[in-house]
Structure formats: structure tokens, C-alpha cells
Amino acid sequence: MARDSFIFYRSFYEAINELSKENQADTYDAIMQYALNQKEVELVGISKAIFSLVKPQLDANYKRYENGKQKKSKTEAKQKQTVSKIRTNVNVNDNVNVNVNVNDNDNNNASDSCIDGLQKIIDFYNENIGAITPYGLEILRSYAEEMPVDLIIYAMQISVEANKKTIQYIKAILNNWQNANIKTLADAQKDSRKGKKQTNFKGRQYTESELDVLYKNMEFR
């Protein structure tokens, strides 16, 4: 497949620069044809020798180029599938389009992981709490950038068990864990097993029952 560009190394130039003008032209043309169009030109003599030294690097670069295209194609397909699932899960009565920003570059391992984790969070929310709204999606996405997925899902489990299935209650749990420097599921489970757990909220320590009273009297805007 034809390419729009390729990498030309200084070592290529220095080798070709030692040739006569005629041989230089032949070698440059052969490199361009091979790198851009994957067409191999028949050469003789010193031009052929120089091209044989350059060709392995051109092949390696072309292989990286093809691998990058395949990886990018798979990433884009996965991103489109995730966006489609998110939009399907959002309550259509909200009449709001959900926009998911994705980076279009070849190094998408981190974004793949983020998208996979966010989808797990969305699936749990929809299946156990209710249809996620664009506001709820944005809140959970922001936490997913800073906290492990299993920790966020555990916070949602607590909200379900406490019958307080709202994004505000989940936020309160996650904020409490951030303030207490709880960063793993094991730490959160250990903290939850305490008899009278105290929770740091807005600079003050609260027990679970006090937090419940505080939550009931909150005015969410």
C-alpha cells in the first residue's frame, strides 16, 4: 500500500553522498519507490550495494507502520463500540448526547485500559442502580482517572446495600476514601468492617450513622 511519508536517516545520506551524481540519483529513486510505493527498482553495481544496506531498515520501518495502522484500527473500533454502548445505556428521555473524548494516536494502551474500566463501571451502575445519566457518567469517569475500577464498583455496591442508590452517595463514599488515603479494594473492605467506622468528610470525623443523617439533609444542586 502506498505511503505518504517515511523516515530517511542521516546514515542513508552519508552513504549515498559518496556516490557519483548518476548513481546518487538512481539510489535515491530506488529508495523512494521502495519506501513509498513498495516497488523494488532493479539496480546494478555500487547503487545496488548501497540499496541492499538500506533496504533492511526500510523493511523494519514499514513493518512498524503496518503494525501501527492495525493497532489504531482496532483501537478506533473498540472506542466506537464503547461510545455506542454508553449512548444506548443513557436514558433517552434526557435528550442529551454523551460525548466521549478519545486521543487519536498510536500509543493508546492507557486509553484502552481507561475505556475498559469505565465500561465495567457503567455496566454495574446500569444493572444495579439505574440508567446512568450524562452527569453521572462524567462523575464516575473523573474518579476512574484517579482510582482503581474495583474500588469504584465497591462504592456502588455499598450504596446498593445501604439502599442509597444515588450518584451523590457514591461520591460521598469515594471522597471519604480519598481523604482517608484509601487506594485499594482491600483497604476499603478492611475499613468497612470496622465496628463504628469514622469517616472524614469536609475536615470533620463522622460515624456511619452521622454520615447517613448528613446525607439525608444535604441539598444537592
pLDDT, residue 151, reads: 92
**What's the rounded mean pLDDT across residues 33-49?**
89
Stated pTM of the model: 0.41
* Alpha-carbon gap, residue 26 to 16, rounded angstroms: 10
pLDDT at 153: 94
Query: Structural domain boundaries of the chain?
Result: 10-73, 90-216
Superfamily for domain range 90-216: DnaD domain-like (1.10.10.630)
Taking 70 as the threshold, does the pLDDT of residue 152 lie above it? yes
Length of the chain: 221
